[in-house]
Structure 1
Amino acid sequence: MNAIRPRSRRARLRGSLTILAFILPALALFCMLVLTPIIVGFYTSLFKWNGLGGLPRDFVGLDNYTRLFADPVFYGDLWHTVVLVVLSLVIQLPLALGIALLLNQRLRGRAFYRVVFFAPYVLSEAITAVLFMLILSPSVGLANQILGIVGLDGLEWFADQSTVLLSLFLVITWKYFGLHMILYLTGRQAIPREIIEAAQIDGGNAWQVFRRVTLPLLGPTIRISIFLSVIGTIQLFDLVWIITEGGPSHASETLAVTMYQFGFKRFQVGYASAISVVMFLLSLVFALGYQRYVMRRDLEGATTVLREQR
């Protein structure tokens, strides 16, 4: 027994060292690429700094945050984020779910349709932005030409304050709903066929089977989809910057666009860092709260499975 204990201790030590050897490179990259920028962002947000001439020296404390929370543009950015999140939850995600359920049926050419619907997500944001700038051009755009054919007046899609946000949402939906469609399709295919057939044998119609069986079983996938949609909207930058640069008159501006303008065009890096800190805190609070109160059962289930496998 005494000879076995040292061996078991050595085996545990060897196992711990092996795990540490695998973790250290990833931990080093995490500290270098994630933790360090966060710390630097918090630090520079306390200074008035243009990003040039070495380290920041003009310490201003919380003045950048006081200025930020007194800026109406900041609250406009928050409102635009809320509007885009609500539109995504009400239109984009249900649309993706409906198409996923449709493409789960036995349709001729459904593999082709899956590729077609997912293809926009593969395109880069820059290509998508340029494509829709051409399609929604007020003068030569395809959209206004179609409206003219049916007898309607053309729209100033990205140049009108009343339509720019909805126009951007159209682009965002076209670009990203394919990702959510694939998530829902994968979740639907993971549901055992026997459960659906049992519900149908019990007399459930299509709506009842969807509401009572399919939708609850898709719950974890839907919650992940909502999480990705909200976090992505908070950090939205590429499409907005290329298409409108936040205009006209801040009507489509987001937090990331405002941060970029102050940091890289006006060289007010301290103020831009304060905006980045607020973005980080918004994302962090939402992520922690969402995982704590919405995804709690999903995470507990995953933890239980891992423990059983060990």
Structure 2
Amino acid sequence: MNPKIARHVYGWLLFSPAAIFFILFTHYPIVRSCVLSFFSNPRGSKPPRFVGLSNYDYLIHDPIFWQALKNNLIYAFGTIPITISLAIVMAVWVNRRMPGRAFVRAAYFTPTILPMIAIANIWLFFYTPGVGLFDSILNALGYPGRNWLGNPDTALLCLMVIAIWKDAGFFMIFYLAALQGIPQDVVEAGKIEGAGRWYFFRRVTFPLLMPTTVFVVFNALINTFRIVDHIFILTKGGPDNATQLLLYYLFQNAFEFWDTAYAATLTVVIMVILMTLALTQFKVLERRTHYQ
């Protein structure tokens, strides 16, 4: 065999296992979901039949879907800015020379490595009415306890607190790596020019962190649309759909109601929403991004 052709064949053989798995577990499910969304739900021996846009028409008039979408947007725009801000503050803090720096870094990162189910059960103890940690503190201070997860006004906020607590340490690692990648001559030039810490961070450090911010924002956005574990353990979408998020609603339709056609429709809509938000974020953030 010609050496040039052999080199190409060898390369494709190395690439093919990853490509096959990528197609089977990414592209095929997307195409399959799009196809299923145009068919009815199979019932027993009754095969699915083509129904066109009926599933999408049902989705448009589904009040639970709109409630879940509203909750998801509140959840996303309420957690992402706070999580990223905390991640930057923590990264700047642990990037300095300080006693016990390794311990502090490990403490910040620990929530990330805990299983999602374990985290939900830990916070369930915190939120339990009457005997939970938060109610115990309120009672000790002379205030009445609250049903944190049973109140529609506070249930979603409780889930947002958990997400911020868990994800801030994870995103801190990316910002810490980015801070350590800033050239020292830039830092020394700022000191020579007499720039204060806040001015130097605002004018130099933060612009250099924008490529990392683009990556972090995109991943944080995806995380906010794939929450299932916490809701399943803590609220199951209640009370009164106050914590119903899109992916959990999809999970309910697919594995509790066995309505696979409507679940496929929800999958397609979620993908479109994520693509739209991601493209919008990239378009906005790209203008403020400075690559070295």
Could you say if the C-alpha distance between residues 290 and 20 of structure 1 is closer, same or farther in structure 2, counting changes exceeding 3 Å?
A: farther
Q: Which amino acid counterpart does residue 207 of structure 2 have in structure 1?
A: P
Distance 1:36 1:53 in 2: 25
Shift of 1:51: 6.8
Aligned partners of 1:301, 1:205: CA distance in 2, in Å?
A: 23
3-state SS in 1 of match to 2:49: coil
Compare CA radii of gyration and give the structure with the larger one.
Answer: 1
C-alpha distance after superposition, 1:8-46 (max 9, x if no partner): xx4432332222111111111112111221122112212
The answer (yes or no) to whether the contact 1:51–1:267 under 8 Å persists in 2 is: no
Question: Which 5+ residue runs of structure 1 have no aligned equivalent?
Answer: 1-6, 303-310
TM-score by length of 1: 0.88
Partner of 2:39: 47
Give the whole-Å Cα distance in 2 for the aligned partners of 1:12 and 1:294. Answer: 43
The 5 Å alignment of 1:176-215 reads: 176-215=167-206
Which of 140, 146, 150 pairs up with 2:141? Answer: 150
Report the equivalent of 2:162.
171
Of all paired residues, the percent bearing the same amino acid is 32
Q: Which residue of 1 aligns with 2:25?
A: 33
The residue type paired with residue 107 of structure 1 is: M
Aligned amino acid, residue 46 of structure 1: F
Matched, 1:115 2:106: yes
Cα distance change of structure 1 residues 155 and 193 upon mapping to structure 2, 3 Å threshold: farther
User: How many residue pairs are counted as aligned between the two chains?
Assistant: 292
Give the direction of change, closer, same or farther, for the CA distance of 1:53–1:27 in structure 2 (3 Å limit): farther
Question: In 1, Cα distance between the equivalents of 2:185 and 2:23?
Answer: 47
Give yes or no for contact 1:97–1:181 (8 Å, CA) kept in 2. yes
Give a deviation string over 1:106-148, Cα, whole Å, max 9, x none.
1110110110110000011111111111111112101111122
The answer (yes or no) to whether the contact 2:207–2:288 under 8 Å persists in 1 is: no
Deviation at 1:269, TM superposition (A): 1.2
Residue identity matched to 2:27:
L
The equivalent position to 1:83 in structure 2, one of 59, 74, 89, is: 74
What RMSD over aligned residues (CA atoms) do the two structures have, in Å?
2.2
Contact 1:247 1:253 in 2 (8 A): yes
Aligned counterparts of 2:287 and 2:4: Cα–Cα separation in 1: 32
Match of 1:250 among 231, 237, 241: 241
Aligned to 2:120: 129
Q: Does 1:23 align with 2:21?
A: no
Gaps of 5+ in 2: none
Residue-by-residue CA offset, 1:267-286 (whole Å, 9 max, x unaligned): 21111111111112222333
Q: 1:67 aligns with which of 37, 52, 58?
A: 58
Deviations 1:67-121 (A, max 9, x none): 1111121111111111122112331210111111111111110110110110000
Deviation at 1:149, TM superposition (A): 1.7
The answer on whether the counterparts of 2:120 and 2:233 sit within 8 Å (CA) in structure 1 is: yes
Amino acid at match of 1:66: D
Q: 1:124 to 1:160 in 2, by over 3 A?
A: same
Q: Secondary structure at the match of 1:68?
A: helix
Higher deviation after alignment, 162-171 or 23-32 = 23-32
- Aligned equivalents of 2:24 and 2:286: distance in 1? 29
Residues 1:301 and 1:26: Cα distance change in structure 2 (over 3 Å): farther
> How big is the shift at 1:241?
2.0
Which residue type is aligned with residue 214 of structure 2? R
CA distance in 1, matches of 2:281, 2:152: 32
- Per-residue deviation at 1:150? 2.2
**8 Å CA contact 1:50, 1:267 repeated in 2:** no
Shift of 1:290: 4.1
Aligned to 2:89: 98
2:131 paired residue number:
140
